[in-house]
Structure 1
Amino acid sequence: MRGLLTTILAFILLVGCSQEDGGNEVSLEMIDVTIDVEDEQQVGELFDLQTWVAQGDDKVEDAHEVLFELWKNGDRDNGEFHEAVHEKDGLYSAPVKVSEDGIYLLQAHVTARDMHVMPTQEIIVGAVSEEEREAFYEDRE
């Protein structure tokens, strides 16, 4: 009896989640966040941190929050947050300038449609030796 009751409640919740909400159909599909930044940048030059946000074929233009966190490898405590603005068609961006050579990590913090996704990408800024690059990639494995 308890199993039947649980099954019925789960069915009601599933049907409730698939109903239309204010004219917009609620989707349980995860949002897809793709960072779109060149892997190598120049020291002291302005460049855009960018990310595309989608849910299935739908470009997300109503994200609740899109923040970029950027920090030098090994120094996350001194990282900086940059608030992104919606440009068009699910593209969010924020300008940034980095003043020191090194390997940086960029993490997009995207909250949209009751979901939170945080992909990360590395960026090489300025002059970074092959030894530094190899050590970084070995540590990541």
Structure 2
Amino acid sequence: MRIKIGISMFVLLIGLLAACGNGTENGNEQETDELKMLEVEFQVPDKANISETIELKAIVTYGDERVTDADEVEFEYWEKGNEEDSTKIKSNNNGDGTYSADVTFDTEGIYEMYAHTTARDLHTMPKKSITIGEGTSDDQE
């Protein structure tokens, strides 16, 4: 009789552990869904000429989904070493998860820029740089 009770308890314990395991898997699926990241592919040419209009473009995704309704996508740029004298411009929402703005640089130099992006209660700001002309200005020489 004791062996039957022992076996029954063992089978019951295995059943409870299996049930707990199934609950954990469902919990992991929910956690995976919640761990989506806000990603921004910031596209900027490496070089451009003085007075050439270039497009700054941000492709915004959340997980595998393109974000067509970001709260903010704003570009900020400045000449390298002079970040306190930056310029900010709002982007155009192209309706397909891409945000863009045209900009023209009037002087040679290396310019750095952020794509300030806020969506899904998250903020990210990838940074890029571009060389205009030869990449040197009168101040840098």
Per the normalisation by structure 1, the TM-score is 0.70
Give the SS at the match of 1:109: strand
Match for residue 85 of structure 1?
92
Give the SS at the match of 1:71: strand
1:64 to 59, 68, 71: 71
Give the SS at the match of 2:94: strand
> Which of structures 1 and 2 has the bigger CA Rg?
2
Quick check: 1:75 aligned with 2:82? yes
Over the matched positions of the two proteins, sequence identity in percent amounts to: 37
AA of the residue aligned to 1:75: N
Alpha-carbon RMSD across the aligned residues, in angstroms, is 1.6
Aligned residues: 106
Q: Where has structure 1 moved over 6 Å in runs of 4 or more? A: none
2:107 to 77, 100, 110: 100
Give the SS at the match of 1:70: strand
Taking a change above 3 Å as real, the CA distance of residues 84 and 27 of structure 1, as seen in their structure-2 partners, is farther
Stretches of structure 2 that go unaligned for 5 or more consecutive residues are 1-26, 137-141
Quick check: 1:52 aligned with 2:64? no
Match for residue 118 of structure 1?
125
Partner Cα separation in structure 2 for residue 92 and residue 82 of structure 1:
12
Give the SS at the match of 1:77: helix
Q: Which has the higher helix share?
A: 2
Per the normalisation by structure 2, the TM-score is 0.70
AA of the residue aligned to 1:39: D
Stretches of structure 1 that go unaligned for 5 or more consecutive residues are 1-14, 19-25, 130-141
